[in-house]
Structure 1
Amino acid sequence: MKILLVSNMYPSEEFPSFGVFVKNTEAILTDEGFIVDKAVVTKSIKKSQKIAAYLGHYANVLRKGLTGNYDAIYVHYAAHNAFPLLLLKKLKPSVKIMTNVHGSDVVPEVASQEKFQPYVKKLLQQSTMIITPSHYYKELVHEKYAVTTPIEIFPSGGVNSAVFYPNPGARQRQLEQLALDSTMRYFGYVGRMDVGKGWDHLLKGFSAFLEQNPAEKSKTRLIMVGSGKDDDAFFQMRSDLGLDDIVVHFPLMKHQDLAAIYNIIELFIFPTTRKGESLGLVGLEAMACGTPILASRIGGILDYVQDGANSWLFTAGEWEDLVKQLELYNQLTMEEKQQIAKAAYETAQNYDQRKIQSKLSAIFHKLELTK
């Protein structure tokens, strides 16, 4: 079976985490014996570069879609790829489109993304099959678009256990490489500094936690990994709250370095407020390293977090509840923390890339039956 993978997000050497799950699904399909060709875009910084990249991308999608003998067009991110695919479908009605929807595809995060919604709906209606990362997102698609197109669930490429795994023996070396104080305990965050990611709620909550528990100031640090449009606001808030020496920031990291962060921290905090949080793969990656998470009670996170059993939840957008949950976490015994960490690890194994890759293969083989 020959597949054309279409995406406006694909990792590059400069931005290795940008759309890495798209590359993961490509690797899965290749491992399962599918022939995969690509029409993808890597990240650009300058607006002029983005415009040129998208124009070239759209032309490439049309050229390959019209001339290539593909059994399916597999698209990640409906919003930014709908235009060329709808035109392709008009020019070549026999083409079969598999649309994998994520995040802002269905729940726009900013007003400028709303304009894509009519095209997203039309693309989903004209797709042969829709793939969503979670049960939550499947229901969201049904509720919003009332499509009759079959919907399958596949968790965004899953977790690469060759990268994300418990590695306690390397912790001291990792601390030294990152110039971190080995006498401190660390909480962590990984995500863009962008709207809806909750980085601001985390800073406010962590600051209040320290104020209410003064002894923690000398022994607890927060590592925040990521960059985005809100970088300036992040640094300003960190300074205003007096956290410059307490909140350690790293820019975007490669997956191997993220795995080191997950192994260094004892608790991963996932403060997203996005209704469109279609799965939350970073949470699963942390859990795969044996690190439990404290996450917002929202979105696809609810597919895998059982509050108090394999991790913990707090009310999305309410930093006061985050403080309350951090204090409850602090009261747990070491044995209780280890029990939750073990359950978190076991849960993440259900999303292991090697275990779930046959699910994606099965979805594409269903497509063959529609011929």
Structure 2
Amino acid sequence: MKIHLIANMYPSQSAPNYGVFVKNTEDILLDAGFKVDRTVLLKEKNKVLKLIKYLIYFLKIIWKGLIKKYDITYVHYASHNALPILLLKKLNKNLVIYTNVHGSDVVPEVPSQEKYQPYVKKLLNHSNVVITPSKYYEELVRRKYNLENRIEVFPSGGVNSKTFYQREDKQSALEELNLDRHYQYIGYVSRLDVGKGWDILLKSLKKLNDEQFIKKNNIKVIMVGDGKDKEKFEKMVSEYKLENVIIHFPLLPQQKLNAIYNAIDVFCFPTTRTGESLGLVGLEAMACGAPVIGSSIGGLLDYIIDGTNGFLFQTGSIDDLVNKIKLYYSLSEDQKRKMCDEAKRKAEEYKVENIKGKLIEIFQS
């Protein structure tokens, strides 16, 4: 079976985590013996170059779709790929489309994304199969677009157990990152963009810092990420006098994230996006033994079991996040160890080797 994989996000050396879930699904299909021909876009910051690359990308999609013979056209991100695929469908009525929807496809993050919604709806209605990352997102998609198509759930390529695992010695992770072993660490890994909750975390840390909780408990916070709000982030860190609390890393390759997740005690996932279709970073942290304190929203509800493998807090609530951080650090060492074990147990369900059969089944049927 020959598959045409189409995605406007794909990892590169300069942006190793950009669309990594697309590569994860590609690897599963290749390992299963499918032939995959990909047409993808790498991250580009220059607006003019980005526009030119999108134009070439769209032309490639249409040209390949007309000239080459594929059994399935597999699309990641409906909003950004709807136009060329819908045009291709008009030119080739027999086109078999599998569409994998994510975050802003269904829940636009900014007003400018609303204009894509009519095309998203049309593409999903023309798709033979619609793939969603979580049960939460499946219900959202079905309800919003009133779909009668076949909808499948597959968790964004899953957790790579060769990369995300708990090390036998936490000290090795601390040394790799040049971190002081005398501190306790909270982790955050995400883009510094609207809705990712980095600002909610900083406001919570300010409150904890003002109350001397951070100093009394020897806590530092590792924040990994870059994005459009980087200047706002840096300004807020300075205004809140958190320079000695925050350790900021830019975007890191996945192997380095293994060290981050193994160095921290707990992972914070304060997203406010109703379109948070899964939240793979939370599962990757869990796979490394870090419980997650996450927003009660989106795909996080699929895997965070409150009080068992982490804590859920009221979305957007600074006070509730403060309380849940305090609650975690009030636990006994035995309770923390049990929470860590439960986090790993839940992440096990999402490991590539345990979910790849589902993706293979979707494509074989």
For residues 344-364 of structure 1, the C-alpha deviation after alignment (integer angstroms, 9 at most, x for no partner) is 100000001011101000001
**Alignment pair present for 1:313 and 2:307:** no
- Cα distance, 1:174 vs structure 2: 2.9
**Secondary structure of the equivalent of 2:3?**
strand
* Ranges in structure 2 where 5+ consecutive residues have no aligned partner: none
1:246 maps to amino acid: V
Which residue in the other structure is 1:45 paired with? Answer: 45
Q: 1:46: Cα distance to partner? A: 0.2
Q: Please state if 1:223 is matched with 2:229.
A: no
Letter paired with 1:254? P
**What is the CA-CA distance between 1:212 and the residue it aligns to?**
2.2
Equivalence map 1:326-345=2 (5 Å): 326-345=325-344
Q: Which runs of 5+ in 1 are unaligned?
A: 367-371
Residues 1:329 and 1:250: Cα distance change in structure 2 (over 3 Å):
same
- Structure 1 stretches of at least 4 aligned residues deviating more than 6 Å after TM superposition: none
- Does the 8 Å contact 2:176/2:259 carry over to 1? no
Q: Distance in 2 between matches of 1:82 and 1:217?
A: 53
Cα separation, 1, equivalents of 2:211 and 2:277: 34
Inter-CA distance 286–121: structure 2 relative to 1 (3 Å threshold): same
Alignment deviations for residues 293-324 of structure 1 (CA, whole Å, 9 cap, x no partner): 10000001111111011211001111111001
Per the alignment, do residues 210 and 152 of structure 1 end up closer, same or farther by CA in structure 2, a change over 3 Å counting?
A: same
* Residues 264/334 of structure 1: CA separation in 2 closer, same or farther (3 Å cut): same
C-alpha distance after superposition, 1:246-288 (max 9, x if no partner): 1010000000000100000000000000000000000000000
Report 1:120-269 matches (<5 A). Answer: 120-169=120-169, 171-214=170-213, 216=215, 219-269=218-268
Q: 1: distance between equivalents of 2:263 and 2:176? A: 12
* Structure 2 counterpart SS, 1:79: helix
1:28, CA displacement in angstroms? 0.3
CA–CA distance in structure 2, aligned partners of residues 168 and 209 of structure 1: 31
SS in 2 for 1:152: strand
SS for the counterpart of 1:180 is: coil
- What secondary structure, in the 3-state scheme, does the structure 2 residue paired with 1:346 have? helix
Contact 1:210 1:217 in 2 (8 A): no
- The whole-number CA distance in structure 2 between the counterparts of 1:135 and 1:31 is 26
The amino acid that maps onto 2:150 is P
Counterparts in 2 of 1:284 and 1:214: CA distance versus 1, 3 Å: closer
- SS of the aligned residue for 1:312 comes to strand
Aligned length: 365
Q: 1:53 & 1:9 partners in 2: Cα distance?
A: 12
TM-score (normalizing by structure 2) = 0.98
User: What is the one-letter code of the residue matched to 1:232?
Assistant: E
Q: Scaled by the length of structure 1, what TM-score is found?
A: 0.97
* Paired residues for 1:293-308 under 5 Å: 293-308=292-307
Deviation at 1:148, TM superposition (A): 1.3
1:203-253 deviation line (CA, Å, top 9, x unaligned): 011121222244636711000000000000000000100001110100000
| 3-state secondary structure, aligned to 2:43 | coil
Instruction: Give the whole-Å Cα distance in 1 for the aligned partners of 2:172 and 2:283.
Output: 24
- Check whether the contact 1:128–1:150 (CA below 8 A) recurs between aligned residues: yes
Counterpart Cα distance in 2 of 1:126 and 1:97: 7
Contact 1:73 1:97 in 2 (8 A): yes
